[in-house]
Structure 1
């Protein structure tokens, strides 16, 4: 496979660190496919990571962006536009909540939620000043800002970035007893991924999210669901929390909310929480800009029919069936949630990174997680034969 000069230079520059990048894909894509600058085509199974649940250049989303580009594109945050109000109302309705605070990136949404939870703790719960605490979970991934990596258990994300922001308590994911022990009178919130995507598509035990909700209710603690990866159709539900019939106090959304067209994220909550922010106390320079809001509205309209959620469920069954044929002895576990899967590799075989590099040479893009796991995130527009093609590449990359 040909590679660009820039990629070769980068590889040589980092050669001492054993750095092996995947292909840089810069040319346009369509549907489930992308094309690099040398004309090589790839089936994109990175879409939960790259935020294109609905595929590359979905015509409805492109049309929404183009229509807005012919009108107002950016505006001072002191003004509303004809897109921001409807976007906020439609997203609030999709979430079954009252208020939306639009942002740009997932990490920005998480940081906003942390601020809201702390302020809610002081203004509503009566936690003493500067004593608010938030419980998080081992194996989490919520972003890469300094505050967020400070409560990460991933050394690659955390090392060499301290000192870190205090006020976080991390407990084992899926352990309700550990969570109960960590909640105290100064706990303002529990921040949880309903499915840990970056960790390798890890789901908690059955009933655990309901138990988290009950603990939060019992102790007057906010439940914040980070659905930036798991939300908006990926797991076969609009939100992964819905599979357990759980309604959090805050949803954090991003990635697919921008449809692969523009960066869009949002914090969604009821006013009892969101109204702790008063004019001038929080903001985002580009949050809720007209182009982002227009694309976000079209994403919401597509999800409102339930078509994409059903498609994720149906194609997920096809993916799970295809993955059942992976070579025994080379794979130790396969986890599937909707159209999303994590494949754990056995010791002694290729690493997750090596498998992903081999797959890229076979024309399929995916991502490793924590060394020994391959994460598969096909776009929701993928067809069954393309799933079969991707799984065949995975089998070849793992080896018989």
Structure 2
């Protein structure tokens, strides 16, 4: 697919040039986080920032997951301290334009400046252009979603109607009067608007493009939108990180943003998986206002081979493929993905492991399936002992050939019957 326009020249850099630039920026960002973020001064204590100049060095740093961010924020607030838990490198004033609250609550700062969340790149790829009106139906209440997309629309040169959520009839009236070309919001609310317009005979044919997020938008729904005359593209952004990845006209995965370094790791660990394997998306942002280092999103994805047919050369991910937190309860005990990884790590012969929980309620059975070339009865017994030592539960061990386990990111599979 030919692409003649890009948001900026960063999108068409050679992969080698991009990697070199990001690895050069990485040690500076690590040092900045250590100096200006109390949380990362603690998390990265003793780390030589100058030495973190490669993906291998980055992979040796700890992963900070949202649950830890929340706990640090709660602890700090309980002591009358920083509401951000020491993660922000900003102070209130001209450099911090807004504060948001996500469920938890987790508080996130918004730094000053044009397109702080870097969403303009995603909207441009979705066909948004200067002079167009964007109907923004993300919530303007407490959470940052609406502001992420609004700032991106402004960066492209669009005007924004801040519709927010609800009040469907009034939103349709505004669409008739204002004739927006584009929509931002959840795919489910866009479908509601289109269905209601059709029922009422309301003409909103001015709407021809959309950038959606906040929930899954499967190909079947994208096709339905196309039938209604709206080209819909997915944008993957979070309140912590801003833009992470975005869909293009090629519709072959999501292209990674230029301002993030992404790793795919084994769920429950910080260990990168081979390219193409499904794992947890871990992001290091180059944003100096909120310098998150190896932030675990909790989302599953995988790196796609090659580059986007539109000419954008950044790596691509498959998109959202589920959640990485696979904690489950077995016989009254919590079992975590990190425990499965701990067991596998003890045995060099084991390449990959998957804990399958089966049986019916009150009759749980555990089987650790391991990919290995050769495992004798002695080693199998040692692995079973490790299962018991780590989880405090008994479980069988079943050896399968390398490549046999599904590539779906699951480390714990709950196959129990709940009927």
More strand by share: 2
Report the TM-score when normalising by structure 1: 0.29
Q: State the structure with bigger RCO (CA 8 A, min sep 6), 1 or 2.
A: 1
The structure with the larger Rg is 2
TM-score w.r.t. structure 2 length?
A: 0.28
Quick check: which one's helix share is greater? Answer: 1
